[in-house]
Amino acid sequence: MTPSAPSPSPTGNGPDSDPDTRPEEQPAGSPPDGTPAGARSVGAAMQEGLARTGRFLRRYWFWGVLVLAGALLWQDLQPEVTVEETGPVAPDFALEQMNGETFRLSDHRGEVVVLNIWATWCDPCHTEAPGFVELQNEFAGEVTFVGLSIDDGGFAAVRPFARKYDLNYPQLASQTVAWQKYGRSQAVPRTFVLDRQGRIRYRHTGLLLKGRLKMVLDELTSEPTASR
């Protein structure tokens, strides 16, 4: 009796099947989509980290804002403001304003002057600018604000800042005057308040908010015009 030929394997894995068509075996521990297990675990860890960061920010952002607001309010409402009984006469200077006119400090004797040395890259300078605008309006005719920028770009840097905050007082730009006459320092803002005789009666380095500065201006504008 003639032996019969072996039947083809129904799964295609018999001796005559094409080895190139056999399904590739997955390494142990690999996910079914073929992504390496290590890559999948790193991606999952990153996603979990981002999710935790998002939950933290959503939970605690309010406290950060509250602390910042409290610090600003504390400075603004401090009752103690020390205005010196007298002080040195502020160094005089004459500089071109942004509008092309000349500003000479000594021309403003008889007025209280607020000289603010600042820069566009200074965050506190942005914070205090709106308060300066309001105080200039409130004390119009008695107080003159003047900004002295130490920006490398000069008026090209100052103009966008002045437009953004609608500055209503003279703007100057000179690192030389700021550093040679009022101290070589990159610390800004620095604010000097001069009495009607041109003497520096109050100075402040750092953020100076409206409420605190108003107390200084109230005191100096209430003094008699004649030197005491």
**Where are the chain's structural domains?**
37-77, 94-221
Written out in words, the top-level CATH class of the domain with range 94-221 is: alpha beta
9-13-16-18 Cα dihedral, nearest 10 degrees: 140
In the beta sheet, which residues pair with residue 202?
A: 193
What pLDDT is attached to residue 123?
A: 97
* Tens digits of residue pLDDT in 168-199: 999 999 999 999 999 988 899 999 999 999 99
Q: Which residues in the chain come in under a pLDDT of 70?
A: 1-43, 46, 57, 60-79, 226-228
Averaged pLDDT of the chain: 82
What pLDDT is attached to residue 56?
A: 72
Q: How many CB atoms lie within 10 A of CB 183?
A: 12
What pLDDT is attached to residue 228?
A: 41
What pLDDT is attached to residue 47?
A: 74
φ, ψ (nearest 5 deg) of residue 113: -120, 135
* Tens digits of residue pLDDT in 24-38: 555 544 455 555 555
